[in-house]
Amino acid sequence: MPHPVPHPVPHPVELRAVSRRYGTGERAVTALDQVTLDFAEGTMTAVMGPSGSGKSTLLHCAAGLDRPTAGRVVIGGTETGELDETALTLLRRERIGFVFQSFNLVSALTAEQNVALPLRLAGHRPDPAQVAAALAEVGLADRAGHRPDRLSGGQQQRVAIARALITRPAVLFADEPTGALDITTSRTVLGLLRGLVDRHRQTLVMVTHDPAAAGWADRVVFLADGRIADEMADRPGAAAIASRMSVLEAAA
């Protein structure tokens, strides 16, 4: 009997020569320039680089929030370029979680209502036990009935993380998730994110300016002028990341 040919398991997200240009003519900006990257399952990747280097653009393209002007983004084996807006929205709802620097909670809704929102948007009736478990996972079981204005910044970001995880996304993207938090609160949020990777094999991609935050990641990708300028693997640690950053900044 011939051996079955092993089916290659696609990475949760694959980018192939992805470019994103804004505008046309003389004013055109190339925010991303032929970026090829994979995000492997159960790993945490930090994306670093100077302001304007294309980090947010990279995240938005990889998450299906924005479309590249050239190249391919493959989410869970699906070519996103072949999907219309509705199909892309459905794929994103099903497979992608996104956390923003500014939390983006709905101010009129309680923590548990915010967490349940993605399920409602997908047309499901939220299971209260599932919502409670998500809040417990981020350490906020006792804050379920609080509105965002009665929560600290770190607590709001933890609600936003619970909301992003409620659909059990294949990939969680976070754009400077600790950018608005102090050092102690940042550490709590980063420990939470790292725990999701270690305990649930969550795939996580995080933009950060902070070498200490990137020090929690397994891999660091450095962008400059929309291109990959460098990469460090094997959980390089904050000190090594900081010195690599200063070399890259000196070269810029």
Q: Give contact residues for ligand ATP (rule: CB under 6 A).
A: 22-23, 29, 31, 49, 51-57
Quick one: what does residue 122 bind among Mg ion, ligand ATP, none, with the CB cut-off 5 to 8 Å set by partner type? none
- Contact between 19 and 70 under an 8 Å Cβ cutoff? The reply is yes
DSSP line for 108-176: TS-HHHHHHHHHHHTTPPP-HHHHHHHHHHTT-GGGTT--GGGS-HHHHHHHHHHHHHTT--SEEEEES
Quick one: what does residue 126 bind among ligand ATP, Mg ion, none, with the CB cut-off 5 to 8 Å set by partner type? none
Considering only the stretches 50-58, 208-216, 217-225, 227-235, report the one whose residues sit in contact with Mg ion under the rule CB under 5 A. 50-58
Neighbours of 187 (CB within 10 A): 16
- Closest to ligand ATP by CB, 10 or 52: 52
| Minimum CB–partner distance for residue 15 and ligand ATP (Å) | 14
Cβ-proximal residue to Mg ion, closest one: 56
Quick one: what does residue 4 bind among ligand ATP, Mg ion, none, with the CB cut-off 5 to 8 Å set by partner type? none
| Minimum CB–partner distance for residue 144 and Mg ion (Å) | 31
Considering only the stretches 49-57, 83-91, 154-162, 215-223, report the one whose residues sit in contact with Mg ion under the rule CB under 5 A. 49-57
| Minimum CB–partner distance for residue 55 and Mg ion (Å) | 5
- 56 is an interface residue for Mg ion by CB under 5 A: yes
Number of residues that bind Mg ion (CB under 5 A): 1
- 156 is an interface residue for Mg ion by CB under 5 A: no
Q: Is 149 exposed, middle or buried (0-12, 13-18, 19+ CB in 10 A)?
A: exposed
Q: Which helix (H) or strand (E) element contains residue 229?
A: strand 227-232
- Closest to Mg ion by CB, 53 or 202: 53
| Minimum CB–partner distance for residue 9 and ligand ATP (Å) | 30
- Contact between 134 and 200 under an 8 Å Cβ cutoff? The reply is no
| Minimum CB–partner distance for residue 167 and Mg ion (Å) | 24
Contacts of 8 (CB under 8 A, 6+ apart): none
SS3 call for 1: coil
What sections of the chain are H helices per DSSP?
55-62, 85-95, 111-121, 128-137, 153-165, 183-200, 211-214, 238-251
Quick one: what does residue 211 bind among ligand ATP, Mg ion, none, with the CB cut-off 5 to 8 Å set by partner type? none
- Closest to ligand ATP by CB, 42 or 52: 52
Q: Give the CA distances from residue 2 to residues 5, 6, 8, 41, 196, in Å, rounded to whole numbers and listed in that order.
A: 9, 12, 18, 30, 40
| Minimum CB–partner distance for residue 248 and Mg ion (Å) | 17
- Contact between 189 and 139 under an 8 Å Cβ cutoff? The reply is no
- Closest to ligand ATP by CB, 56 or 167: 56
Residues making contact with Mg ion (CB under 5 A): 56
